[in-house]
Amino acid sequence: MFRFTLRVKTTDLFSSFLKTNNSSSFVRIQRAASAIRCHLPNVNVPALTVPEFIFQNFSKHPHKTALECAETGRRYTFEEVRRKSLNLNKALRQKFHLKQKDIVALVLPNIPEYAICLLGALQAGLRVTTVNPFGTADEIKSQLQDTEAKVIITTCQLGEFADTVVQRLQKQIPIVTIKTEVTNTIAPGKVNFQELIDTVCDLNDVCPSNTHDIAVIPYSSGTTGRQKGVLHSHNTLIATVVAVSCKTLYPLKDTTYNFQETTPAVLPFFHIYGLTMVLLLQLYSLVNIITISKFTPTLFLDSLLKYKPSTMCLVPPLVLFMANNESVTRAHFEFLEAIYSGAAPLGASDELKLVNRSGKDLKIYQGYGLTEAPVVTAFYQGVDIPSGSVGRAIQNTQMKIVPVDNPKADHLGANQPGELLCKGAQLMLGYYNKDKESEDAFVDGWFKTGDLVYVDKDNNMFVQDRLKELIKVKGYQVPPAELEELIRTYPNVLDAVVIGIPHEQYGEVPRAYLSVKADTKINLQHLDEFIASKVSKYKRIAGGFAIVDKIPKTASGKYLRKDIKLQYMQEMKQSSNL
């Protein structure tokens, strides 16, 4: 495979890739023995930049709405997005003297202007690092420090918070603020975003970036380790959108003079799932994106009634919310035909709960991807894929499953769990400023996902868990997700997370944390007996249960098991000192 460094110092291997790629098609990978491929032919990935790729369809329906704010009704047409992105491209270069490959940090929630910020910066030949605006000041400081961002774009509401972050950096970084409400004012020392996108600068266009230049640097969630910047080029992002936009995978209806699909954007754009599957894919498909800056049950459910989407992308916690929350009625599912779930495994029983709540033949399609490889598997229309599966390999992708202790081994075959390895045009270039980690992430050109999976005889894939999160009981490996799904089937359980805790005799044992539905109770002894009747003895919850108000998760819906385990260890240490 190949890797990239911060200064775009290209390795011999990456140079070789460019020569064989002919700059106009997807990465051509030699057929590997015993690899799983998509059942459909590969698709061409155009040699364009992300803005060129996204804008090419805008002229078909320039005056239709591209993005609309669910909270304020603020909206932009496709033509306005294109024109204002062009203005921002020139204004960023003129006002801040930015050069190609400088980095702009987007510290933004989901707002309509996100698309303009992203596309405008990329048009200018800049790179964008997407930042979680709900992170702590130290977390954001670390990302800005790591990327050496030259400009921050945020909202007026987050302006003071951005000041705090910059003060901790002990260096000056210009802050551009966006008015999201009419009562907002631009604080002294800040730059007015509206002026940048409304001003036509007398400045030459820059030469388009090479399609293999770095475009976006999202940061991995850090659920199992320290956060890392993930390098995605224009090509890797476009390869993702091209693969998932095929009608057999994501069957959106074409936009016409009288019709336009609408989708609520509740998944954060700073996360690779929301960035690719919601923002870029829907813009490319001319869908009206309804931005939701922060999830609240009322706002989310009201948007379903008001905008009547036929499809939407969710994460398991949102699926569970719709399946369990009493405020969700069949009226909210009236126009919904399909829900796409990703970022974490969703059990078959969880799918069934949602279908039963909808009262209709609601389709639930799961997919699989990582920050490093946005989409690897997905559901295909007309293909019989069992419930609980995350689908099959997408086009331009190869997969193989190998023993966890032997990544160079051949593919294991059907129904044999192992680590998933993959190749494809959508794979990251490497980790930002981390040559060793970039090199260690691949073996013989295959990306090591760190996930324990298996496929059935038809190559439908099932995710069991993160390898680093497996609980090792008496030498046996116990996937927490398996126990979590089982616990959620018990009456009155709202959500559950399982961690491994130290055990003097067994090494580790599972411990469960659960939240319960409002105004209900659970008999933990009965729950323990229920689980014991369903699993092998070594999988039982020998570490006990704890009922909590809320289970901590990342913005993308992944359980923060390492934080829960750290808190448990601290509690045990404190109790031992008493």
More confident site: 27 or 50: 50
Report the alpha-carbon distance of residue 131 to residue 194 in Å, rounded.
21
Q: What is the pLDDT of residue 212?
A: 95
- Is the model's pLDDT at 171 over the cut of 60? yes
Residues 378/401, Cβ–Cβ less than 8 Å: no
Write the secondary structure of 64-111 as one string of H (helix), E (strand) and C (coil).
Answer: CEEEEECCCCCEEEHHHHHHHHHHHHHHHHHHHCCCCCCEEEEECCCC
- Is the model's pLDDT at 198 over the cut of 60? yes
Q: What is the pLDDT of residue 279?
A: 98
Burial of 44 (0-12, 13-18, 19+ CB in 10 A): exposed
Q: What is the pLDDT of residue 356?
A: 93
More confident site: 484 or 250: 484
- Is the model's pLDDT at 575 over the cut of 60? yes
- Is the model's pLDDT at 51 over the cut of 60? yes
Residue 267 tokens read as 């998944």
The SS3 call for residue 475 is coil
**Range in 1-15, 58-72, 201-215, 330-344 with the lowest mean pLDDT:** 1-15
DSSP class of residue 540 equals S
Residues 260/286, Cβ–Cβ less than 8 Å: yes
More confident site: 32 or 563: 563
Residue 559 tokens read as 């359980």
**Range in 141-145, 480-484, 509-513 with the lowest mean pLDDT:** 480-484
- Mean pLDDT, all residues of the chain: 88
- Is the model's pLDDT at 9 over the cut of 70? no
Q: For residue range 109-162, what is the model confidence (pLDDT) as tens digits?
A: 999 999 999 999 999 999 999 999 998 898 899 999 999 999 999 999 999 999
**pLDDT above 70 covers what percent of the chain?**
93
Q: Name all domains of the chain by residue range, CATH numbers in brackets.
A: 50-293 (3.40.50.980), 471-576 (3.30.300.30)
Q: What is the pLDDT of residue 8?
A: 33
pLDDT band at 28 (very low <50, low <70, confident <90, very high): very low
- Span 504-526, mean pLDDT? 90
- Is the model's pLDDT at 16 over the cut of 70? no
Report the alpha-carbon distance of residue 110 to residue 291 in Å, rounded.
6
This prediction's pTM: 0.83
Q: What is the pLDDT of residue 357?
A: 94
Report the alpha-carbon distance of residue 501 to residue 235 in Å, rounded.
43
> 445: which strand partners?
none
DSSP class of residue 254 equals P
Q: What is the pLDDT of residue 155?
A: 97
Q: What is the pLDDT of residue 399?
A: 95
Q: What is the pLDDT of residue 222?
A: 47
pLDDT band at 6 (very low <50, low <70, confident <90, very high): very low
**Range in 10-19, 86-95, 378-387 with the lowest mean pLDDT:** 10-19
- Is the model's pLDDT at 484 over the cut of 50? yes
Q: What is the pLDDT of residue 118?
A: 98
Report the alpha-carbon distance of residue 261 to residue 573 in Å, rounded.
54
Residues 354/225, Cβ–Cβ less than 8 Å: no
pLDDT band at 27 (very low <50, low <70, confident <90, very high): very low
- Span 213-222, mean pLDDT? 86
- Residue 523 dihedral angles phi and psi, to the nearest 5°: -85, 110
DSSP class of residue 280 equals I
Residues 67/115, Cβ–Cβ less than 8 Å: yes
- Residue 321 dihedral angles phi and psi, to the nearest 5°: -60, -45
- Span 160-182, mean pLDDT? 94
Q: For residue range 345-382, what is the model confidence (pLDDT) as tens digits?
A: 788 888 999 999 999 999 999 899 999 999 998 887 77
- Is the model's pLDDT at 442 over the cut of 50? yes
- 279-282 LR contacts (CB < 8 Å, sep 24+): 279/114, 279/115, 279/118, 280/50, 280/54, 280/237, 280/240, 280/241, 281/241, 281/244, 281/245, 281/250
Residues 470/452, Cβ–Cβ less than 8 Å: yes
DSSP class of residue 503 equals E
